Structure 1
Amino acid sequence: MAFIETFPVNQATGEARAMYERVQANLGYVPNYAKVFSLRPEVMGAWSGLLASIRGHMDTRRYELVTLAAAKALRSSYCMLAHGTILRRQFFGPEQLAAIAGGADSGLEPAEAAMMAFAERVAKDASSITASDVEGLRAHGFTDAEIFDIAATAAARCFFSKLLDALGAEPASLFGMPMPGASAWGRLRSTLTSHPTTFCERINGRSKRPPTITSPGCASSEPKPCSGAAA
């Protein structure tokens, strides 16, 4: 499920197998992003350590909102879907989250809207950020340590999202959301994947094989073709 050859879950040995087992134990299945790391499992270990050190200082809502903002700036449908799903399950209804993902501050505290705007700029063009932008976050009550956490979360997402995009990792599942349509869930899923270049469009332009999305659980599950902007 990538542009590169990876180790199948049922054939992996050594460090790759150990990595798969850790991910399986943590998530209940092996997502496609982990398969990309099977060629260099030590990098996954380093990434996991970095991520834990960053998010350990943030509550879940803040971390996920910052990550969503950075993923949106990076046009990462994979990360938008994954982290949008967490926000949907724990904090927001589908309509509200669709509005947030679309750029509105519906239901957000002013400080949350400010941190998301800052995170988006970190991901888009960190060199454009000035001292006044940081001062703006201070005005919303963020400490300098918290501002570091926000910037580190957004910067770390650049590594992960860009790596997955560069190697063609596909979303591991539909993340519990239906295909785009008239329902609130469908509109949310469409919003989370309706970037100027959608995942299916990018794959169709760069790969000869049909784009697919794998059902969660195992490498042997039958792939389902993606449709429109939803992949």
Structure 2
Amino acid sequence: MTGSFLGEPSVSPQVQALYDEDLADGGYVWNVSRLWAHQPDTLKDLFGLMSQAFAPSGLTFRQRGILVTAAASALGDSYCSLAWGGKLGKASDAAIAAGVLTGGDAGLTDQEKVMAAWARKVARDPNATTPADIQALRDAGFDDGQIFAITAFVALRLAFSTINDSLGAQPDAELAQSLPREVREAVTYGRPVAG
């Protein structure tokens, strides 16, 4: 079982390196890695581009987690919501992560709430954003370079999620089992956890 709509490709050195990284990190090969094994170099380049886009923002890991979790949940992507909800829970706490996943945002700073709202707008309807949304980001303390960096990062994360979701990537059972109950229960959308 590949955990997606596609069969697993032959194992090349690049594919094996992708799998080995998963095994070293968590003890199992993620379904999303089995999917991206069709183009492991593209995955590496995409993650590199995400890092390059995010770097000028000057944001913390927690803030990156808020952006990804807010965007993934707005898109309805259960896989990234669970994965990054777990990461955000470790960077803050499970209740804060669950709040971002459900749109409640309890426990976030005012600046973080503005960031989360922006990530959700970019995910749901980028054509509905307005100059007032940009001003809200400025008022929260972000300069235009940071706003561009945040937006580029969120858009690239959405591209990653769109590929995963379109091709049926299911969240791993091992991932879901490793998460706090609050995070698991907050994700009631998207593809179900693999059996």
TM-score, scaled to structure 2 = 0.87
1:79 paired residue number: 80
- The change in CA–CA distance for 1:131 and 1:46 in structure 2 (over 3 A counts) is same
Query: Taking every aligned residue pair, what percent have the same amino acid on both sides?
Result: 30
Quote the Cα distance in structure 1 between the aligned partners of 2:95 and 2:6.
37
- The change in CA–CA distance for 1:55 and 1:28 in structure 2 (over 3 A counts) is farther
Q: Is the 8 A contact 1:114 1:137 kept in 2?
A: yes
Counting only pairs closer than 5 Å after superposition, residues 67-216 of structure 1 correspond to structure 2 as 67-92=68-93, 94-172=94-172, 173-174=175-176, 176-177=178-179, 185-191=180-186, 193-195=187-189, 198-200=190-192, 213=194
- The change in CA–CA distance for 1:138 and 1:175 in structure 2 (over 3 A counts) is farther
- Asked which structure has the greater RCO (Cα within 8 Å, sep 6+), the reply is 2
Three-state SS of the structure 1 residue aligned to 2:125 is: helix
Would you say 1:64 and 2:56 are equivalent positions? Answer: no
Q: Is the 8 A contact 1:120 1:154 kept in 2?
A: no
Quote the Cα distance in structure 1 between the aligned partners of 2:101 and 2:37.
31
Moved over 3 A (4+): 21-29
Report the count of equivalent residues.
189
- The change in CA–CA distance for 1:39 and 1:96 in structure 2 (over 3 A counts) is closer
Three-state SS of the structure 2 residue aligned to 1:39 is: coil
Deviates more, 1:61-70 or 1:130-139: 130-139
The offset of 1:125, in angstroms, is 1.0
The offset of 1:18, in angstroms, is 3.2
- Superposition RMSD on alpha carbons, in Å? 2.0
- The change in CA–CA distance for 1:27 and 1:156 in structure 2 (over 3 A counts) is farther
Structure of greater Rg: 1
Q: Is the 8 A contact 1:85 1:175 kept in 2?
A: no
Q: Is the 8 A contact 1:73 1:124 kept in 2?
A: yes
1:134-177 Cα distance to aligned partner (Å, 9 max, x none): 11110111111211122112211211111111111111221513
Q: Is the 8 A contact 2:89 2:95 kept in 1?
A: no
Quote the Cα distance in structure 1 between the aligned partners of 2:29 and 2:55.
23
- The change in CA–CA distance for 1:51 and 1:26 in structure 2 (over 3 A counts) is farther
Three-state SS of the structure 1 residue aligned to 2:107 is: coil
Quote the Cα distance in structure 2 between the aligned partners of 1:23 and 1:48.
15
Unaligned runs of 5+ in 2: none
The offset of 1:105, in angstroms, is 2.6
Q: Is the 8 A contact 2:55 2:149 kept in 1?
A: no
The offset of 1:25, in angstroms, is 4.6
Q: Is the 8 A contact 1:76 1:161 kept in 2?
A: yes
Q: Is the 8 A contact 1:82 1:175 kept in 2?
A: no
- The change in CA–CA distance for 1:146 and 1:26 in structure 2 (over 3 A counts) is farther
- The change in CA–CA distance for 1:45 and 1:187 in structure 2 (over 3 A counts) is closer
Quote the Cα distance in structure 1 between the aligned partners of 2:160 and 2:106.
28
Quote the Cα distance in structure 2 between the aligned partners of 1:35 and 1:134.
38
Three-state SS of the structure 1 residue aligned to 2:37 is: helix
TM-score, scaled to structure 1 = 0.74
Three-state SS of the structure 2 residue aligned to 1:199 is: coil
The offset of 1:97, in angstroms, is 2.8
